[in-house]
Structure 1
Amino acid sequence: MPISSAIGLGVRSLASNSVHRCKRLNQFGSILTNPSFLVNCITKTPHHEDHARLLTVSPIAIPQQKKEHLEVERKFVFDVTKVPVMERNSGPVKFDSVKFICTKSFTDIYYDIDERGYPLTSQDIWLRQRDQKWECKTPTDLVASMDSYHELEDLNEISDFLRQTLGVQTLSSPKDSQSFGYWLNQNFSLTPFCTIKTTRQHYLLDGEFTLDLDTADFGHHVGEIELVVHLKNEIKNAEMKIARLLKKHDWFFDTSGTVMGKLSAYIGRFNRKQWECMERSGILKRKLYPESLDDVIKREKE
């Protein structure tokens, strides 16, 4: 390219053969907003031929947090006589909205290893088969006032997690859910420790909170309010939102005493050994005596 043409583009070349000068066509601020920026360089060759070289420089990539399925939930006791009042949204303090979704029934089969002292449930890990679908709920341990779990549903992810947690090396897991239970037993000695059939009334409160009212086939009733988030740094905010909702509508949500979930109630009633294993690990204390909602809200104000 002739020097005169380069000047027409706003770029000056030096007369010296050994000197190269570049003029940026975009300022640094543009780098942050444009996908790339351009630099024109005029290079003098030994034969005094001018060449324009166009360089494209990519912006620095900012790592993104991995999105996950994270559940933040708090259990509560409910009075069945107040359920119709909640459904009509005619309680002493009204919700922004109450939407009944459905009533459904499902059967859960939970697995652990008896001879190893229940290493999963003693770490608040819940491996289950819900109506033929495998799920593994693993704790995030990021909040003290309620449960928060990362839920695994992919069979490869579940098997990788179990290998790491139980310290057992195995061959690849099967791809189908029907063979997965047999594979778990053969490789990890995992066996069912309880089967629970649940009837659930499912609601959406204020357009974002999932409300489940469960009745288990062994006679236990419990409610659960839940928010799903996708980043770990969103868990604390979800905890705060749930705490505020429960306190605002404490006419319906009773968290004042010891609240037992279905599994804690089942294990306490039918499996003394497992209960004692969970007690020794400290999981029972955390689940039965979580941080109070008042403390959560007080923390927010500090």
Structure 2
Amino acid sequence: MIRSTLDLQQTALQTLQERYRQPHSLRCQVERHLDFSPHTILQMLVLEVERKFRCLAVKRLVRDGGFPPFRSFKYCGKQTFHDVYYDKADLLSSKGVWIRQRDGHWQAKIQRGGDYHNSKFEELSNPMDISQYLAELTGIRHNERNNFGLMQMAAFSTLRESWVADQDFTVVQDVTDFGHTVGEVELECRVEGEGSPGLATERYRAAKMAEMDERITTFMKRYSWAFCAGVPKGKLTAYFETFQ
């Protein structure tokens, strides 16, 4: 019986590796999410809560740039990335779903609560998962080879500067190639679960996101010296105002 169970585990692992053919680091991620029961595969759920702000209130964000100072602080540097957003007659964006390619990699951001300035998202990055989600949403199945049956609606590049404060909070400020600036404070949580999401998973997700949102609110109030007051404008909104 022990030999049979181990054989089943090894077969399941080999099947997953052959199916996805991902780079080594991603294959290891799949391996880590195999339970030792041969009938159970764990799924990783990525939850993200973010709050936008207009721009930084200080010329240079540093640990002790205001009072109180950050408890911990790390500068993460600058990076440039190119986003291409896809939709079909506003079908997805009207439902709080954004599909994009960031530097050629597909991503789906699914709004799970909040509003325009304070958003709660579930993220998908595997094209198979994105295809499955869109099929459930629209009733039509496509894959990444034909852009999931969607049309390009926006494309622009962004220069992002980022920091990590108080260990868990990512602070970013973005400047687009068409001159728009906006910032975000983000918290991310990775949760493992079995099989398809059920009622217990949905309740846990909602409770976890509410907790993350409260933490961001407290963080931004504590360090209000770092963030400009006023109503922020997202990059897509600014893009459409500029080009349409």
Q: Same fold (TM over 0.5)?
A: yes
Segments of 5+ residues of structure 2 without an aligned counterpart are 1-41, 192-204
Deviation per CA, 1:154-192: give whole Å up to 9, x if none.
11100011112122145xx3xxxxxx2x4236xx2x111
Match of 1:68, SS? strand
TM-score by length of 2: 0.71
Q: How does 1:59-138 map to 2 (within 5 A)?
A: 67-79=44-56, 82-84=58-60, 86-113=61-88, 117-138=89-110
Cα displacement string for residues 89-121 of structure 1 (whole angstroms, at most 9, x for unaligned residues) = 2313211122101211000000011xxx31111
Q: Counterpart of 1:122 in 2: which secondary structure? A: helix
Q: Which amino acid aligns with 2:179?
A: G
**Number of equivalent positions:** 189
Measure the CA separation in 2 of the matches of 1:165 and 1:107: 27
Q: In structure 1, what is the Cα distance between the partners aligned to 2:240 and 2:64?
A: 35
**What secondary structure is seen at the aligned counterpart in 2 of 1:224?**
strand
SS at match of 1:91: coil
Aligned to 2:179: 219
1:197-240 per-position Cα deviation (integer Å, ceiling 9, x unaligned): 00011110011101111111010001100001235131111111
Does structure 1 retain, via aligned residues, the 8 Å contact 2:86–2:154? yes
TM-aligned CA distance change 1:248 to 1:195, over 3 Å: same
Q: Distance in 2 between matches of 1:263 and 1:160?
A: 25
Structure 2 partner of 1:247: 221
Number of the residue aligned with 1:150: 122
Say if 1:89 and 1:97, in contact at 8 Å, map to a contact too. no
Which blocks of at least 5 consecutive residues in structure 1 are unaligned? 1-64, 174-179, 272-302
Q: Which has the larger radius of gyration?
A: 1
Find 2:240's aligned residue among 248, 251, 267.
267
Alpha-carbon distance between aligned partners in 2 of 1:164 and 1:262, rounded to the nearest angstrom: 28
- Paired AA for residue 72 in structure 1: V
Using the aligned pairs only, state the percent identity.
31
Contact 1:89 1:98 in 2 (8 A): no
Change (3 A) 1:251 1:264: same
Question: How far apart, in 2, do the equivalents of 1:160 and 1:72 lie?
Answer: 23
Greater RCO, 1 or 2 (C-alpha within 8 Å, sep 6+): 2
Look up the equivalent residue of 2:219 and give its one-letter code: L
Matched, 1:184 2:158: no
Judge conservation of contact 2:86–2:98 (CA < 8 Å) in 1.
Answer: yes
8 Å Cα contact 2:63-2:70 kept in structure 1: no
1:267, distance to aligned residue in structure 2 (A) = 2.1
**Aligned partners of 1:140 and 1:252: how far apart in 2?**
27
Aligned-residue Cα RMSD (Å) equals: 2.1
For residues 154 and 193 of structure 1, the distance between their equivalents in structure 2, rounded to whole angstroms, comes to: 21
CA distance in 2, matches of 1:92, 1:169: 53
Matched, 1:235 2:198: no
Separation in 1, partners of 2:212, 2:56? 25
8 Å contact kept, 1:105–1:197: yes
Q: Is contact 2:82-2:103 (8 Å) kept?
A: yes
Q: Give 2:147's aligned amino acid.
A: L
Contact 1:112 1:191 survives alignment (8 Å):
yes
- Match of 1:278? none
Q: What is the distance in 1 between the residues matched to 2:54 and 2:47?
A: 23
Measured in 1, the distance between the counterparts of 2:159 and 2:72 equals 23
Q: Is the 8 Å Cα contact of residues 211 and 224 (structure 1) preserved in structure 2? A: yes
Contact 1:73 1:146 in 2 (8 A): yes
